[in-house]
Structure 1
Amino acid sequence: MDHRIVTALRACGGDPRVAGAARALSWAGEHGALWVAAGLAGAAADGARRGAWLRGTALVAGAHLVSMGVKRVVRRPRPAHVEPLVSTVGRHSFPSSHATSAAAAAVAFGALGAHPVPPLAAAVCLSRLIAGVHYPSDVAAGAALGALTARLGARWMRGGGRD
């Protein structure tokens, strides 16, 4: 099923507009950069909750690092049956680190009222499938890992109720 879904979604990348969007989202999400930038922007714009934004950004970065560690242990190869739209930093696909940091940002920053973050995070997750560099199970596991990390750190992010 994973192979069929990747094949079908990668075919969507045949449209140059879809391919361009998938490439841009993949590039922006590399190493969680989009989400770190969003967290720092939130901290700069929302002085009253600066600490919560910075701790949320730390949760996103921490989730990303955890996913990289899991990836080194699992060592699942990336899909080889489709031509990827983007190059990748590593050879392993499980879990998707893009999905991990995106879901962590959706949960953490969404809790701070950043309503555009969850749909953008979903688009980043989808971009990895359209780009042909992850299986759906990679993205689902990454998203679950990121959401769980942010949820477990939610109280700390809010400063134990002080922010």
Structure 2
Amino acid sequence: MAELTTASAPERAVAAHDEESPATVTPETVALRKVQGALAKPAVVKTAHAMSLFGEHAAGWLTIGAIGALVDRERRGEWVTAAAGVAAAHAASIAVKRVVRRPRPKDPEIQVLVGTPSQLSFPSSHATSTTAAAVLYGGLTGKKLTPALVPPMMVSRLVLGVHYPSDVVAGSALGGAVALGFRRVIRRRRNRA
């Protein structure tokens, strides 16, 4: 009887390619090993798991945007636009993943400590949506959220063994770029009002 699989055809192709390729230890693999070796302690892993769940499909950030729209009636449109920016950033990261098709880390010394919806790694969608949320919601609240939110989310993806350092850096850059575009939209609407 044929074995059932939930992976899509492109993901199976990536997996097949990985099985045929010999493991190459790159500087990013070494960096990921070091991060896990230094930080993958039970309390940190537990926190990283919670962050992963919150950031999955940008759901936590979109929920915060919805709450902001409900609570801040005067700026409801700005909150909706900001949440749309988070969704757009997440969608952009998925689109880039499907073009780049970089497989997730597969090194015998790297522990994968959380499940993922796909086997594609570049860029980190968690880093993308977190950066977009920090920039956009920070602009609405008047608080500098980026230093408090983005580095912990980036490091959490490394601790969990599901991304290389360049994945999280690229994801954060993509999220920031999308967020800046949406901030311009928010400012234009504010100036028209």
The number of residue pairs the alignment matches comes to 163
Alignment of 1:129 onto 2:181? no
Instruction: Identify which range, 55-64 or 10-19, moves more after superposition.
Output: 10-19
Q: TM-score, normalised by structure 2?
A: 0.79
**Deviation per CA, 1:98-152, whole angstroms, max 9, x where unpaired?**
1110111111111112637431233222210110100110000000000000101
CA RMSD of aligned residues (A): 1.6
Rounded Cα–Cα distance in structure 1 between residues aligned with 2:182 and 2:43: 37
Are residues 42 and 121 of structure 1, via their aligned partners in 2, closer, same or farther at CA, if it must alter by over 3 Å?
A: farther
Whether the aligned pair in 1 keeps the contact of 2:150 and 2:172 (CA below 8 Å) is no
Which residue number corresponds to residue 144 of structure 1?
173
Q: Give aligned-pair identity as a percent.
A: 45
Opposite residue 112 of structure 1, the aligned amino acid is: L
Q: TM-score, normalised by structure 1?
A: 0.93
Are residues 13 and 2 of structure 1, via their aligned partners in 2, closer, same or farther at CA, if it must alter by over 3 Å?
A: same
Compute the displacement of 1:68 (Å). 0.2
Alignment of 1:98 onto 2:139? no
Rounded Cα–Cα distance in structure 1 between residues aligned with 2:171 and 2:40: 25
Which one of 123, 133, 143 corresponds to residue 115 of structure 1? 143
Q: How does 1:18-37 map to 2 (within 5 A)?
A: 18-37=44-63
**Unpaired runs of 5+ in structure 1?**
none
Rounded Cα–Cα distance in structure 2 between residues aligned with 1:30 and 1:117: 19
Does 1 or 2 have the higher relative contact order (CA < 8 Å, sep 6+)? 1
Opposite residue 134 of structure 1, the aligned amino acid is: H
Instruction: Identify which range, 42-51 or 3-12, moves more after superposition.
Output: 3-12
Compute the displacement of 1:62 (Å). 0.6
Are residues 153 and 108 of structure 1, via their aligned partners in 2, closer, same or farther at CA, if it must alter by over 3 Å?
A: same
Which has the greater radius of gyration?
2
**Unpaired runs of 5+ in structure 2?**
1-26
Opposite residue 113 of structure 2, the aligned amino acid is: L
